[in-house]
Amino acid sequence: MRKRIFITATNTAIGKTYTTKLLLKEFASRGILVGVIKLIETGVIDSHACDGEALLECVKGLNPKLWALEVEDIVPITYELAAAPFVASNNRPLDFKKIQTKIEEMEAFCDLLLIEGAGGLYVPIDEKTMMIDLISHFNAVALLVTHCSLGCINDTLLSKKALEDRAIPHAIAFNCRKTDEDFATVSQPYFLHTNIKVFKVDEDIDTLCDVLYNL
């Protein structure tokens, strides 16, 4: 089985796809054949899966073996309504077989697979499945992408505890934006005091790749 890294976040619109693209580029720069899957994407209208298309364009430029891929190979399950999959699918049971097939097809052409989730860890997918369940189901380690604005301490610790309670190996990446200039004074001191590694997506992507690859 290939190395699998699951990119999750403390919420939606935190920067999972942005981070996934940076990881793809960094791993590829090391001579690693990379692949990517976004398991589920909602808010897809007229087959226009924005995240999936961005990931497809990125990975095709990094792994020549993936030149023939279509967006359906990157995003196996899509829904039109921009909502949690449970709601967007009318609680339709998740098609694990379809996802597993796409993962196996992708892994035939790569050595490392990045799997991007949807929303946060406790986004409901169907009656029995939360997003966090997929990390263990597909035998992946996790990267938790979190924000740097006020409230990130609470959001980060809640998701961190959820991963720890499931014994899921993980790292944490802070996606700081230009408007987060107060992170160093308002939130970062707590993380430094508690010895939680503060890896920033833009500044520390090389170190993050080292950590994730060795989890």
38, 65, 98, 160: which is the annotated catalytic residue?
38
Sequence-separated (6 or more) residues with CB below 8 Å from residue 86: 123, 124, 125, 126, 127
> CA dist 108 to 55, 66, 103, 104, Å?
18, 10, 9, 6
3 state SS of 188: helix
**DSSP state string for 40-64:** EE-S-BTTB-HHHHHHHHHHHTT-G
Other CB atoms closer than 10 Å to residue 178's CB: what's the count? 5
Q: Return d(Cα 185, Cα 214) in angstroms, integer.
A: 31
DSSP state of 11: S
Known catalytic residue: 197?
Answer: no
Catalytic residues: 38
